[in-house]
Amino acid sequence: MGLGAYVAVSAALFALGLVAILARRNVIYILMGIEMILNAANINFVAFNRFGTMQLDGQMFAIFTIILAAAEAAVALAIVLNVFNLFDSVKPSEADLLRE
Amino acid sequence: MSLAFDPAVDFALLLAVLAIPLAGYTLQIFLRRKLPHGDKLLTAGMFVVMCLTVYFGAKGLHAAYSGERFFHHSSEAGLEFGWLYTAGTVPDSMNIVMGVLYDPLGAAMLAVVGIVSFCVHLFSIGYMHGDKRYPIFFANISLFTFAMLGLVLADNLLVLFIFWELMGAMSYLLIGHFSHDPSQPFFHRWATWASKKAFLTTRIGDVCLFIGIFMLWDHFHTLRFTELWEHARLAVVENGGAFPAWMTWAGLFVFGGTVGKSAQFPLHIWLPDAMAGPTPVSAMIHAATMVAAGVFLLGRMYPLLSPEVLSVVTMVGATTALFAATMGLVVYDLKAVLAYSTISQLGFMVAGVGLGGVVAGMFHMTTHAFFKACLFLSAGSVIHGCHHVQDMRVMGGLRKKMPITFACMLICTLAIAGVPFFAGFFSKDRIIQAAFLRVLDSRHFDGWSLYALIALSVAAALTAFYMFRLIFLTFYGEYRGNLEHHRFSESLARTGYEGPDPHEHAEPVVAIADHGHGHGEHGAHGHHEDAHHGHHAQPQVAHAAAPAHVAHAVHAHAEHGAHDAHGHEPHESPRVITIALAILALLGVFGGHFWLFEPHKVLHAHPWFEQLVTPASMYGEEVAHWMAPEPTGHELEHHEHLLHQSHNLALIVSSAVALLGIGLAFLFYIVRPDVPGRIVAALGQVYTVVRRKYYIDEFIDATVLRANWALTRLLKWLDENVVDGLVKLVARLNKLGGSFAAWFDKTFVDGAVNAVALASQVFGAAFRLVQTGRIQQYAAFAMGGALLTAAWLILA
């Protein structure tokens, strides 16, 4: 298995995440999509590190990304709770105050 | 407290003497609404100050009688500070080091100021009661005292000058006390005018003094008195025993300060008008402060005055003494008589200094402070008792109605007249002795000394005459305040007080009728409101407790006309007033010599003042010896002979002229009251000239003021045409430039701004279309963009 396999998995994961973000009507799914995209990026980091000439830079970035994802999930869930309190809904199409 | 000198304690106490009036002023100004008894508080503070100053005077006397050197500077207690550097003793030609000087002359003056100021405070509680600006009055009079105390304690000329100016400012405020009372149009205008006159007239002298200070600084680089005396001595010794020419000029300029402050000819014109202020203020200005400051300055600066300057001093002093006395003969206002007597007595002091009798001059300043304060306060008591009448023509017979006031005033009149055994006798006798010393000694004889001797003797006789004229007119005969107007005129004709109608002429400079005459007119009608009925029947203390009627009497008297034509009997003043009078009258008797306690010494021993203050104790042995070398051998004998001779002659002359003056006054105003009228008729024009104060006010009006007006008009013209023209030209140019800038601004700058705004508007409208607020749409846009970018990258 070469680099291509890893990249393919990563690309698939990315595409799934993107679809979840763009097409889903529930904000929880959108969050899950974001997590998938972040993980796709993680796979790329680790794979390119493995097949490249770097030392442990990719892994380091991956760990950072995981921490970032955890933090982002905490913040995002808090936002979701507030959005729900405000709009009585978790549908992103109804929270359109950004237009103002 | 012991009488031995302790620098640390004594200088702290001296600072307390300064601090108490200042603190009183500050408290009274800032907290007068929260302090209902501020007046009593300030008077109590002044009592402490009086005790302290008397203690310091006693300390000086103790040292003098026990033969110790008594001359202290606050550097002994580490108290001194620099003008530019905090470390007081930095040797630098720009640094003026200041401290407190505590010497015999200062100790004597301090006690005088303390006593008089306390009496004035006490008196004011009774006299000013109910005045609209009563708390402010007390505050100001405290600061006035502070200024004089500071001036006495100053150890250098600059500090002295600072307090000197503070005193000028305070006298301005106090003379103009009634100028803030618009309910009294007459007082209002006159007080405003008089305060300005006093301030501006003394200013001329102050500028002279300041120039003198500059000259001394320029040559000596110090202003401390002790150093100035020493430098003067060295400068003269270096110059071969003669004073350098510049010192004569500097001395004349310094003397100019005295001429202004001590009301010497020709700058005396402010003092008679200073009586526009309340009577206690007059007592303060005429006795212990203000005019005394000028004489005090002469005492401090005496070693720096060259013989030429002293000749001028003698001339000015003797002239002032004589010609003010003649003016005192013809005025009818009670306070005006006292004002002219002050000018005359100041002339005595100044002439005494000029004749070489610096101790005699200072001595007369001390005794004069006591009896003149008493005379003014007694006059205030009479005015108070007569319900604010000041014209002697409507007084008379007050002896029985105001016995205490009469007794005090009589004592002090005897003192000022120079009757033996009263305070004024001892000091005036010394001044005349100084004149005799100069005249009899062939080495010092000059024309001015002879002139001074004659002028002073005549002035002494005139003083006795007009002071007893005042006593006889005010306290003897019948009370004339109750008479109807026509009867009043008759009684005047009968007693011979006929002169030109005082209402004929307006006051020079501004058109205000002479204050005293205005009073006479109103006084003739007897002007008292109904609220006053019955008050004088009550005990004296009750009088002080009835504020409204006094206030009304102060402010409303000119408004009362003939409709209220029932005169009230004069009455004795409240006790606070009579106590103040009694203290000062006591000093009018014993202020010159404690003769009751040492009767065997009266004729031959030195009075207390001469024990305390001698040239050696004032200026130090060295300077004193330089000024007047000790005679030796044959000269000593000659000198003692001269002393003896002049002493006897002065004794005879001064007693004789005093008794002559009193006798003449008795003859003219008691025995033959028709004589003065005839004399006036015989004198004719001469009388008018004196009555109109020698036209000096008119002269100054015509010369100085006219010239000033002309200069002002010229400057106004220059200002309007030249300066304003330039300003207008600049303004017009500016306007032109401004209109161009405005056009440019509107067209180009605003155009650019508007264009930017329009562009934003257009772009905004376009972008609004994609701004839906749906995040998923935004994500889709982002994705699309990313794909397009990727596609472009791949295809390119």
Query: Total structural domains in chain A?
Result: 1
Tokens representing residue B171 in the block: 């006298």
Tokens representing residue B777 in the block: 């749409």
- CA B372 to CA B291: how far, in whole Å? 12
| Partners of B156 in the β-ladder | B224
Identify which of B771, B774, B779 has the shortest CB distance to residue A93. Answer: B774
Is residue B547 pLDDT above 60, yes or no?
no
Identify which of B772, B774, B776 has the shortest CB distance to residue A21. Answer: B776
Q: Determine, for residues B771 and A21 on separate chains, whether the beta-carbon distance falls below 8 Å.
A: no
Quickly count: other Cβ atoms within 10 Å of residue B695's Cβ: 14
| A14-73 confidence digits (pLDDT tens) | 999 999 988 888 888 889 999 999 999 999 999 888 887 777 888 889 999 999 999 999
| Residue A61 maps to a domain | yes
Binding-site residues on chain A for chain B (CB distance < 8 A): 18, 21-22, 30, 92-93, 95-100
Q: Determine, for residues A98 and B776 on separate chains, whether the beta-carbon distance falls below 8 Å.
A: no
Phi/psi at B333 (5° precision): -75, 125
Identify which of B773, B779, B783 has the shortest CB distance to residue A96. Answer: B773
| A79-94 confidence digits (pLDDT tens) | 889 888 888 888 877 7
The SS3 assignment for B501 reads coil
| Residue A66 maps to a domain | yes
B657 and B460 Cβ atoms separated by less than 8 Å: yes
Helix (H) or strand (E) run with residue B72 in it: strand B72-73
Distance from CA of B752 to the nearest CA of A (A): 29
pLDDT tier at B498 (50, 70, 90 boundaries)? very low
Tokens representing residue B415 in the block: 């003192």
* Mean pLDDT value across residues B628-632: 77
Total residues belonging to chain A: 100
pTM over 0.95: no
Q: Which residue has the higher pLDDT, B600 or B11?
A: B11
Q: What is the mean pLDDT of chain B?
A: 80
Residues in chain A within 8 Å Cβ distance of B776 = 21-22, 30, 92-93
pLDDT of residue B543: 35
A43 and A30 Cβ atoms separated by less than 8 Å: no
User: Does the bond joining B280 to the residue before it have cis omega, within 30 degrees of 0?
Assistant: no
Is residue B767 pLDDT above 90, yes or no?
no
pLDDT of residue B544: 34
Between the alpha carbon of residue B76 and those of residues B9, B69, B104, B564, the distances in Å are 11, 14, 17, 66
HEC string for B393-421? HHCCCHHHHCHHHHHHHHHHHHHHHCCCC
The SS3 assignment for B391 reads strand
Highest mean pLDDT of the ranges B98-112, B509-523, B619-633: B98-112
- CA B297 to CA A6: how far, in whole Å? 110
- CA B642 to CA B738: how far, in whole Å? 88
Residues in chain A within 8 Å Cβ distance of B780 = 22
Phi/psi at B112 (5° precision): -60, -50
Give which of B351, B343, B210, B309 is closest to B696, Cα–Cα. B343
Q: Determine, for residues A96 and B774 on separate chains, whether the beta-carbon distance falls below 8 Å.
A: yes
Is residue B529 pLDDT above 60, yes or no?
no
Identify which of B771, B773, B780 has the shortest CB distance to residue A22. Answer: B780
pLDDT of residue B516: 36
Tokens representing residue B503 in the block: 């209402």
Identify which of B771, B775, B783 has the shortest CB distance to residue A92. Answer: B775
pLDDT of residue B149: 92
Q: Which residue has the higher pLDDT, B569 or B344?
A: B344
Q: Determine, for residues A21 and B779 on separate chains, whether the beta-carbon distance falls below 8 Å.
A: yes
| Residue A96 maps to a domain | no
* Mean pLDDT value across residues B633-645: 82
Distance from CA of B768 to the nearest CA of A (A): 9
* Mean pLDDT value across residues B462-476: 88
**R_g (Cα) of chain A, nearest Å:** 17
What b-and-e string marks burial along B728-763, b requiring 16 or more CB atoms within 10 Å of the CB? eeeeeeeeeeeeeeeeeeeeeeeeeeeeeeeeeeee
pLDDT of residue B207: 92
- CA B692 to CA B270: how far, in whole Å? 15
Is residue B507 pLDDT above 70, yes or no?
no
AA letter at B508: P
pLDDT of residue B530: 35
Q: Which residue has the higher pLDDT, B579 or B572?
A: B579
AA letter at B293: A
Between the alpha carbon of residue B310 and those of residues A1, B652, B671, the distances in Å are 127, 26, 43
User: CATH number, domain at A51?
Assistant: 1.10.287.3510
| B155-176 confidence digits (pLDDT tens) | 889 889 999 999 999 989 888 8
| B59-88 confidence digits (pLDDT tens) | 888 888 887 788 888 877 777 777 666 555
Residues in chain B within 8 Å Cβ distance of A93 = 774, 776
Residues in chain A within 8 Å Cβ distance of B771 = 98-99
pLDDT tier at B735 (50, 70, 90 boundaries)? very high
Q: Residue B775: closest CA among chain A residues belongs to which residue?
A: A92
Q: Determine, for residues A93 and B776 on separate chains, whether the beta-carbon distance falls below 8 Å.
A: yes
| Residue A32 maps to a domain | yes
Q: Determine, for residues A100 and B783 on separate chains, whether the beta-carbon distance falls below 8 Å.
A: no
Q: In this predicted structure, which of B145-149, B294-298, B367-371, B587-591 has the lowest mean pLDDT?
A: B587-591
Q: In this predicted structure, which of A8-12, B12-16, B760-764, B771-775 has the lowest mean pLDDT?
A: B771-775
| B27-40 confidence digits (pLDDT tens) | 888 887 777 777 88
Distance from CA of A99 to the nearest CA of B (A): 4
Tokens representing residue B248 in the block: 């004569």
pLDDT of residue B243: 86
Distance from CA of A21 to the nearest CA of B (A): 7
Residues 6+ apart with CB under 8 A from B722: none
Residues in chain A within 8 Å Cβ distance of B772 = 96, 99
Quickly count: other Cβ atoms within 10 Å of residue B544's Cβ: 18
Q: Residue B781: closest CA among chain A residues belongs to which residue?
A: A22
- CA B93 to CA B254: how far, in whole Å? 22
- CA B146 to CA B124: how far, in whole Å? 17
| Residue A97 maps to a domain | no
AA letter at B206: D
Q: In this predicted structure, which of B16-25, B394-403, B423-432 has the lowest mean pLDDT?
A: B394-403
Q: Which residue has the higher pLDDT, B705 or B659?
A: B659
| B126-150 confidence digits (pLDDT tens) | 888 777 788 888 889 899 999 999 9
Q: For strand B80-82 and strand B97-99, is the pairing parallel, antiparallel, or unpaired?
A: antiparallel
* Mean pLDDT value across residues B228-251: 88
Residues in chain A within 8 Å Cβ distance of B764 = none
Candidates B768, B771, B775: best to mutate against A (most CBs of A within 10 A) is: B775
| Residue A26 maps to a domain | yes
pLDDT of residue B515: 37
* Mean pLDDT value across residues B420-429: 86
Residues in chain B within 8 Å Cβ distance of A76 = none
* Mean pLDDT value across residues B545-567: 37
Is residue B618 pLDDT above 90, yes or no?
no
Q: What is the DSSP letter of B81?
A: E
* Mean pLDDT value across residues B457-485: 81
| Residue A100 maps to a domain | no
Q: Which residue has the higher pLDDT, B565 or B290?
A: B290
| Partners of B99 in the β-ladder | B80
Q: Determine, for residues A99 and B779 on separate chains, whether the beta-carbon distance falls below 8 Å.
A: no
Helix axes B185-220 and B225-238, enclosed angle (nearest 10): 50
Binding-site residues on chain B for chain A (CB distance < 8 A): 771-776, 779-780, 783
Q: What is the DSSP letter of B96?
A: -
pLDDT tier at B11 (50, 70, 90 boundaries)? confident
Give me the percent of chain B exceeding a pLDDT of 70: 85
| Residue A98 maps to a domain | no
Identify which of B772, B779, B783 has the shortest CB distance to residue A99. Answer: B772
Q: What is the domain range of residue A17? A: 3-91
Distance from CA of A98 to the nearest CA of B (A): 4
AA letter at B561: G
Give which of B640, B661, B629 is closest to B425, Cα–Cα. B661
Q: What is the DSSP string of B215-237?
A: HHHHHHS--BHHHHHHHHHHHHH
